[in-house]
Amino acid sequence: MSATIEKLEERRAEARLGGGRKRIDAQHAKGKLTARERLDVLLDEGSFEELDMFVEHNCTDFGMQDQVYPGDGVVTGSGTVNGRLVYVFSQDFTVFGGSLSERHAQKICKVMDTAMKVGAPVIGINDSGGARIQEGVASLGGYAEVFQRNVLASGVVPQLSLIMGPCAGGAVYSPAMTDFIFMVKDSSYMFVTGPDVVKTVTNEVVTQEALGGAVTHTTKTSVADNAFENDIELLLAARDFIDFLPASNREPVPERPTADAWDRIEESLDMLIPASANQPYDMHELIRKTVDEGDFFETQPKHAANIITGFGRIEGRTIGIVANQPMVLAGVLDINSSKKAARFVRFCDAFDIPIVTFVDVPGFLPGTAQEHNGIIKHGAKLLFAYAEATVPKITIITRKAYGGAYDVMASKHLRGDLNYAWPTAEIAVMGAKGAVEIIFRGLDAAGIAEKTAEYEARFANPFVAARKGFIDEVIMPHSTRRRIALGLRKLKNKTLENPWKKHDNIPL
């Protein structure tokens, strides 16, 4: 018996070595952790239980029968993050460059299937050279099997992709179908075709970083949500992030103890809105002074920064936050901000996360570039997302809510549950000066100024909307947290169903 146990330990030690000490050292030399080291940081200490440690590939072409490593380039299993169950896979670049084979894919599919059965998040760590060329179409079939599970799991369990090395070709589509993507600066890349292919086909010369690096994907493309300096920073952020999310669409949002009083008054918010309507202020200040302990995890902070999205907590329970940002483009809605917020709202709705919306929006961004690139359809995505959402929705208008953008930003007409306004709110079709110039064409400057003051006195306040019931209450800024907390208590057991349908047809 002891000999058998000893043999098992030898086999386990061999599997833990992956591609061998030389390749592990090469991974470290690049400033990267190995597949198993990453899981050690991500998961609670001692919680990881591995599956399929001894799986091997079944390829016999190109001499592959003589190159066999236990685990076949991916470490799979389950563990806990802050005591909560998650399923994980971590690609091992030391084994065939982390390339995906048929068996490699089967291992990933097994943990995804199990996560779906039990209702637990899936966290995938991607560090792979792509399809294993020696296996040909069998490898491509493996990718498609993973893609199918990404689609079936969407909206059922949270899916988080951590890109911690190369991710190229067909491999990029699995992370793209997950809910959130984190990347590491200077060491992780995502692209359908690499720099060499781009140069051959289009004669463009581009580096890996410029083509598909973390900065590119978190600023220009919006493919990734957040970029981090190194492996450790990313993995610790992933631990914090997963703590905000429910285990599945059948589970409530997680709760954590908080010493932050639900009825805390924040007097400084009474001074947040500048005297001049054209002067910006930072919406982050309002968000951090409203949520528990100022703890706010922002998603896509570097992309479409004119709108803010992310997660916080009220009374220890997760909420999703969407807010216009007056510091960037005056908080205007455009193509990128509409797409960013729409996807976030749909995620929150899928997992029953209440949505709090802070509104200060002067309208949609005008211009030929916006119109020709489809602002109508892209803006409709945000409208559609809010309108279909059945989760608790609380909206607070802090200053401007003009035109169609007023409607889009979780208005009462889109089934907003509680719609509040600060006394500084201006709810109108457009700004006073623009409205006067249309209504009173031909007036001189003095006449325009007089009529503008008259228009502002009549419409640049929340009371016209409040008289019509479009605003439930005009509240003091300092009581914002208290009002949201009370509202969420009331709405905790909200039930609302959309008409039966196979699925909707959002304007993609």
Q: Which residues are catalytic?
A: 169-170, 404-405
- φ, ψ for residue 454, nearest 5 deg: -65, -45
**What size, in residues, is the chain?**
508
Nearest to 225 by CA among 181, 186, 190: 181
Cβ atoms of residues 91 and 35 within 8 Å: yes
Phi then psi for 369, rounded to 5 degrees?
-60, -45
For 484, counting Cβ atoms within 10 Å of its Cβ (0-12 exposed, 13-18 middle, 19+ buried), the class is buried
What is the rounded CA–CA span in Å between residue 51 and residue 16? 13
The secondary structure of 405-426 as a DSSP string is: HHHHTT-GGGT-SEEEE-TT-E
Residue 273 CA: distances (Å) to CA of 191, 266, 352:
43, 14, 32
In whole angstroms, give the CA distance from residue 224 to residue 219: 9
Q: Which residues pair with 420 in a beta bridge?
A: 396, 473
Give the ranges where 389-469 is alpha helix by DSSP (H). Answer: 403-408, 432-439, 445-459, 463-467
Instruction: Give, in degrees to the nearest 5, the angle at Cα 172 between 168 and 177.
Output: 180
- Separation CA 235–CA 474 (nearest Å): 43
